[in-house]
Structure 1
Amino acid sequence: MRSAGYQPAEPLSVWIVTDGRAGIEAQALGLAEAIARRAPIAVTTKRIRLRTPWSWLPPGFIPAAQDALTIESDPISAPWPDIFIGCGRASVPFALGVRAWSNAKTFVVQLQDPRVNPREFDVVIPPLHDELEGQNVLPIVGACNRITSERLENAVSQYKSSQLEELPSPRFAILIGGKSKRQDISPARAREISDSLAAVQRETGGTLLATLSRRTSDAARMQFRTWLAPHCAVFYENEGANPYPAILGVADHIFVTADSVNMATEAAATGKPVHILAVDGQLGKLTKFHQSLARRGCARPFNGRLETWSYPPLLETDRAAAAVLTAWAAKHRAN
């Protein structure tokens, strides 16, 4: 266990507060797990949702957040944790609340851009491409995640008696996203992606291992099912055990659609070549994200020609965890 300069006598109580969406919760869990690799903690996961009309309001304008919770939400009540990790819009009012209700004794960490002045939190950890600045702001490339070499090894060993390791190499993990605010995968683009990846399989004699997102539209899904699935040893569509970490662990190369920050960051955490597949729509700030991956040697746009390269795994979650513990220790000593 690495020291953060101050080790608590008892495990730190840590709350993870999100709306329960898989991609959002994984970011908060990833940070908590990275903290746990450095100091003893006890984690409590809380999933919350706001009732209308409160869910329509900006996060900083919800006067009584606890009264705005839906009946199925987990309670947000004392005793307050040592560390609060919030991620996503719904968590912001409770991050602000817990800091006040605990008389600032709870150390409040907010992931992503909270759209509230960063000074209202102890630490804010946004993606670098959001260009948020402040004394207590720690920008990272992409998003916090749960990817570690140990987790990937365990996933591979547990996946159907390790049959993945027996598949012909090179093995290609294919991570397909879908619709977001500004991007989507049209049926035509899905067919183009399928054809280009089938060509990679033919040229290399390797193995395609694909997983589709819940965001993948039915129309795009049909194209992938028709033109990509026949070439895949694994083709996952959200039924049964998710092979996502296992195929990341066994892959020699990773292909990921350009719409997803989470998937690209997780891919880059493996240290394996990451090929970005173009999607439809405007990338906006995602262009800066892809550029930051490229500058670190993690990812390149896929233009139909397979390239191989190496780079140190992108371990931004570990960097964030070390910074959080250092800041928490400094505040604890000051109090």
Structure 2
Amino acid sequence: MTQSYPTSAETPLIIWAVSDGRAGIEAQVVGLANAIARKRPARIIVKRVGWKSWIGRLPWWLNLAPRRLLTPESDIAPPWPDLWIAAGRATLPLSIRVRRWSRKQTYVVQIQDPRMPTRLFDLVIPPKHDRLVGDNVFPITGSPGRVNAERLAADLERFSAELDALPRPRVAVIIGGKSKAHDLNVERAAAMAREIELPVVQEGGSVMVSFTRRTPEPARAILAARLKHLPGVIWDGEGDNPYFAFLAAADYILVTEDSTNLATDAASTGKPVFVLKMSGESLKFRLFHEDLESLGAARPFGGAFHSWQYPPLAETDRAADEVLRRLDERTR
């Protein structure tokens, strides 16, 4: 599927933001593309690649003719873009060939650790906690995202009727779900609801609860049932997503420990971020949360709210600056 976002009437930089369409992966490529477009005239085209039958599960080195094996909706064909930004395993057989297909006219950026030689790309942007190094590697804290001051302000205004009257402190509760390293079973969900409820009641505040597609339905049901008596909003997945408005309206942000994207988005607001414990353990995520703590952005949630200040995380803009710097160097 192809979706186009024209961002300037001037001669634009053509950017393809390429993923398999999963929300968390697409958010990273679109987030970085948008950050570049804020700095330079650009036209962003979102590409969602799909593979025929089982072929997409092949290792990258066995997928020898990838364009023939794509679904027609993928629309990976010339004219090639100036800048290819991709993330996810599904994009790798394409990313490593775009330079050749375009006769080195396309600059190829791969987000996340591709777990293959980085020399096959122009630039790799992994999270620092992957501990990947190299001349063409630019590690960042967390992942590129879509949070910026303009987006937050616009969404806050759009949802003002629902949020303006909520008592303070307003607590955004952003719940992830099952992943390779973490899970949210019903026992943990019930305990999490109690941990959230008590300080909100004590401080006379309100909640703004948002779930993700990965949140298990039993956990979602328990959290919604246990928190619905509090002042606030629990988004049921219907209608416009108030996620960015919740972040903008919040005095405190609670986020589960399973997602780099969610914690990065929260830390990009400059507001106190508390990390909610889940079932499971991961060294990479522990390193990521330690990095956020060292930057003053996040702390483990201990059942009480307190305020502090720190510079909002701006890693997406920093990555965008690096992409443009290297792109300009190559052009010169």
TM-score interval (norm. to shorter)? over 0.9
Distance between the aligned counterparts of 1:273 and 1:60, measured in 2? 44
| Shift of residue 225, structure 1, vs aligned partner | 2.1
TM-score under structure 1 length normalisation: 0.94
Instruction: Classify 1:131/1:232 alpha carbon distance in 2 versus 1 (closer, same or farther; 3 Å).
Output: farther
Amino acid at match of 1:67: R
Query: 1:93 and 2:93 equivalent?
Result: yes
1:285-300 equivalent positions in 2, closer than 5 A: 285-300=284-299
Which residue in 2 is equivalent to 1:3? Answer: none
Contact in 2 for aligned 1:214/1:238 (Cα 8 Å):
no
1:165 corresponds in structure 2 to: 164
Map 1:257-276 → 2, pairs under 5 A: 257-276=256-275
Any idea what SS the aligned residue of 2:209 has?
strand
Aligned residue pairs total 323
- Name 2:4's counterpart in structure 1: none
Alignment-mate amino acid for residue 65 of structure 1: P
Deviation at 1:10, TM superposition (A): 2.9
Name the CA distance, whole Å, in 2 between partners of 1:60 and 1:169. 54
1: CA distance, partners of 2:102 / 2:331: 14
The change in CA–CA distance for 1:232 and 1:182 in structure 2 (over 3 A counts) is farther
User: Mapping of 1:1-335 within 5 angstroms?
Assistant: 10-71=11-72, 73-159=73-159, 161-333=160-332
Comparing 314-323 and 165-174, the one that deviates more: 165-174
Please give the per-residue CA displacement for 1:253-297, whole angstroms capped at 9, x wherever unaligned.
000001111000000000000000000012231000000000000
Worse-superposed segment, 10-19 or 323-332: 10-19
Deviation at 1:232, TM superposition (A): 4.7
* Aligned counterpart, 1:4: none
SS at match of 1:97: helix
* Aligned residue type for 2:193: S
Q: Which runs of 5+ in 2 are unaligned?
A: 1-9
| Structure 2 counterpart of 1:217, one-letter code | P
User: How far off its partner does 1:166 sit?
Assistant: 2.3
61-70 vs 227-236, greater mean Cα deviation: 227-236
Which moves more between the two structures, 311-320 or 31-40? Answer: 31-40
1:169 & 1:305 partners in 2: Cα distance? 15
CA distance in 2, matches of 1:238, 1:118: 39
Q: 2: CA distance between counterparts of 1:53 and 1:212?
A: 30
Residues 91-138 of structure 1: per-residue CA shift (max 9 Å, x gap) = 111111211101111000011111221111011001110111110000
Structure 1 unmatched runs, 5+: 1-8
**In structure 1, distance between residues paired with 2:126 and 2:228:** 36
Greater CA deviation, 62-71 or 47-56? 47-56
**TM-score, with length taken from structure 2:** 0.95
Supply the RMSD in Å over aligned alpha carbons. 1.2
Q: Which amino acid aligns with 1:113?
A: D
